[in-house]
Amino acid sequence: MTDGLIGVVNAGSSSLKFSIYAGDDCLLNGQVDGIGVRPAAKARTGAGEALPPPDLSAAPPATPADALVALMPWLQEWLAGRRLSAIGHRVVHGGPNHAAPARVTPAMLDELEAFVPLAPLHQPHNLAPIRAALARNPGLPQVACFDTAFHRTIPEVAQVFALPWEMAERGIRRYGFHGLSYEYIASVLPRAAPEIAAGRVVVAHLGNGASLCAMRAGRSMATTMGFSALDGLPMGTRCGQLDPAVVLHLMTTEGMDAEAVEALLYRKSGMLGLSGVSSDFRDLLASEKPRARFAIEVFVHQVARNVASLAGAMGGLDGLVFTAGVGENAVAIREAVCRACGWMGVELDEAANAARGKRISTPGSRVGVHVIPTDENLMIARHTRALVR
Ligand code: ADP
């Protein structure tokens, strides 16, 4: 390694994840959870061995930005004289124009601040640590990597809502998210699944947050998430696609205010709300409770239906890729989705699926089905290195 180390920061409302990369090698992974309540840090080497975590008890961080600053002395010690060449940050919203990651300047931060109303739950927490790092070390380059950027290739017909035109001009349109994950999958597809890489592929990012992306030759053509990361598939605690009249009903007839509706749709719905058991698919799969099973059936139904919808947007389907926590690990859910997609030419190789193979469709399947682990942090590290080189 001649060109220094890259830091990667992924800040949420109450957590901050960080990694250090040398080239494509991850050397360090850590996270601070419970920020603002009971912050606790943990750290591992890239190979997964636990490290003594930073001690935050002297001055418990109240915000993710505080957490980044509080981590610095521990990181300096861990770096033992080596230097970071840049920090790459995950930023949920790049607005309608950012189609690629960008080197952060104070002016650009002000521009990104304008998208806070479009992603009030995420954007402020993404931006504050960038400001904190800039203030502390103005000479260290910072790069913003947007979850929306990969979807800027989506044709305009698939980006607009059928609302009055001026609303699209005001930014009320579909943006799509999980873009760093989809971009990583697109980058490895030619090697991992060469027979489908140039074709029409639906990538299923199924994790705690879940969405699908229609890719033609590695470019996003449509996606299930829209204006926010609430749309599309039902998720751990988010409702997914919903008739907007339900919101009107809750507010006008049931007297709920915006805050209560937001809590309902983001935190009390999805798998948790349907099952009454858990938002975690491992718990649902292990549960005997009928509603836990039913929640999984609803999830599978929506995934399969939306695979068909995205295939429709591309005029056909050549490949299906599963990724993220559920997509990479949940054999039973992959099997159920593939069965429901059988009419589109998906033929599952049950043994390969159970054995956690990479290609899980039969040799004769018209649609090639693959399981590919995603790596959003590596994507951020690569972009950051490329931009500061
Ligand atoms: P996010 O990054 O959105 O927080 P992940 O991609 O890490 O989410 O996925 C988390 C989800 O993956 C959880 O619901 C978890 O239950 C599920 N998951 C992880 N491992 C397994 C497994 N072995 N079987 C089933 N589900 C799993």
In this predicted model, what pLDDT tens digit does every residue of 49-59 receive, in sequence order? 999 998 888 88
Other CB atoms within 10 Å distance of the CB of residue 138:
10
Measured CA to CA, the distance from residue 168 to residue 157 in angstroms comes to: 11
**Mean predicted confidence (pLDDT) in 162-183:** 96
Do 271 and 345 lie in one domain? The reply is yes
Q: Which residues of 87-119 are buried (b: 16+ CB within 10 A; e: fewer)?
A: bbbbbbbbbbebeebbebeeeebeebeebeebb
Give yes or no for a contact between 284 and 273, defined as CB atoms under 8 angstroms apart: no
Residue 179 maps to a domain:
no
78 Cα–ligand 1 center, Å: 30
In the chain, DSSP finds a helix count (H) and a strand count (E) of 14, 13
Which ligand 1 atom is nearest residue 283's CA? 16
CA neighbor of 41 nearest in space, from 2, 85, 75: 75
The percent of residues above 90 in pLDDT, for the chain, comes to 90
Question: Of 112-121, 265-274, 291-300, 320-329, which range is least confident?
Answer: 112-121
Which ligand 1 atom is nearest residue 236's CA? 14
Say which CATH number the domain at 280 has: 3.30.420.40
The pLDDT assigned to 251 comes to 98
291 marked ligand binding residue: no
Residue 116 maps to a domain:
yes
Do 213 and 338 lie in one domain? The reply is yes
Q: Is the CB of 207 under 6 A from ligand 1?
A: yes
Parallel/antiparallel/unpaired status of strands 219-223 and 210-216: antiparallel
Q: Is the CB of 325 under 6 A from ligand 1?
A: yes
Do 20 and 123 lie in one domain? The reply is yes
Measured CA to CA, the distance from residue 369 to residue 348 in angstroms comes to: 8
Q: Which residue has the tokens 């949420």?
A: 12
Final residue of a structural domain among 87, 120, 146: 146
278 Cα–ligand 1 center, Å: 12
**Mean predicted confidence (pLDDT) in 225-251:** 97
Measured CA to CA, the distance from residue 80 to residue 271 in angstroms comes to: 45
Nearby residues of 172 by Cβ (< 8 Å), 6 or more positions away: 161, 163, 227
The pLDDT assigned to 118 comes to 82
**Pair of tokens at residue 19:** 């990694």
Q: Which domain holds residue 366?
A: 194-376
Final residue of a structural domain among 146, 175, 202: 146
Q: Is the CB of 209 under 6 A from ligand 1?
A: yes
Q: Is the CB of 329 under 6 A from ligand 1?
A: yes
344 Cα–ligand 1 center, Å: 27
The percent of residues above 70 in pLDDT, for the chain, comes to 99
Q: Is the CB of 177 under 6 A from ligand 1?
A: no
For residue 231, the SS3 value is coil
pLDDT digits (tens, 9 = 90+) for 68-109: 999 998 999 999 999 999 999 999 999 988 999 999 999 999
Do 221 and 326 lie in one domain? The reply is yes
Give yes or no for a contact between 236 and 356, defined as CB atoms under 8 angstroms apart: no
Residue 387 maps to a domain:
no
Q: Which residue has the tokens 């699944």?
A: 193
The pLDDT assigned to 3 comes to 62
Q: Look at residue 2 and tell me whether its pLDDT is greater than 70.
A: no
Do 199 and 137 lie in one domain? The reply is no
Q: pLDDT tier at 1 (50, 70, 90 boundaries)?
A: very low
Do 213 and 346 lie in one domain? The reply is yes
Residue 303 maps to a domain:
yes
Q: Is the CB of 280 under 6 A from ligand 1?
A: yes
The pLDDT assigned to 10 comes to 95
The number of C-alpha atoms within 13 Å of 40 and in the hemisphere containing its C-beta is 2
C-alpha dist (Å) from residue 384 to 62, 83, 263, 267: 28, 15, 35, 32
pLDDT digits (tens, 9 = 90+) for 113-144: 999 988 888 899 999 999 999 999 999 999 99
227 marked ligand binding residue: no
C-alpha dist (Å) from residue 161 to 157, 164, 171, 266: 9, 9, 11, 21
353 Cα–ligand 1 center, Å: 17
Which ligand 1 atom is nearest residue 206's CA? 6
Measured CA to CA, the distance from residue 267 to residue 281 in angstroms comes to: 16
Measured CA to CA, the distance from residue 103 to residue 280 in angstroms comes to: 36
Which helix (H) or strand (E) is 89 found in, with range? Answer: strand 84-91
Q: How many domains does the chain have?
A: 2
Which residues are designated catalytic? 147
Which ligand 1 atom is nearest residue 333's CA? 25
Do 261 and 355 lie in one domain? The reply is yes
Residue 112 maps to a domain:
yes
The pLDDT assigned to 321 comes to 98
Do 19 and 122 lie in one domain? The reply is yes
Do 125 and 210 lie in one domain? The reply is no
Q: Is the CB of 326 under 6 A from ligand 1?
A: yes
**Mean predicted confidence (pLDDT) in 318-334:** 98
pTM, rounded to two decimals: 0.95
Q: Residue 98, Cα to own-chain centre: how many angstroms?
A: 17
Residue 384 maps to a domain:
no
371 Cα–ligand 1 center, Å: 14
Final residue of a structural domain among 115, 146, 177: 146
Do 133 and 201 lie in one domain? The reply is no
Do 363 and 260 lie in one domain? The reply is yes
Other CB atoms within 10 Å distance of the CB of residue 54:
21
Do 229 and 363 lie in one domain? The reply is yes
Residue 174 maps to a domain:
no
**Pair of tokens at residue 185:** 């999958």
Q: Look at residue 159 and tell me whether its pLDDT is greater than 60.
A: yes
Residue 184 maps to a domain:
no
Residue nearest to atom 7 of ligand 1 (CA): 325
**Pair of tokens at residue 82:** 């080596």
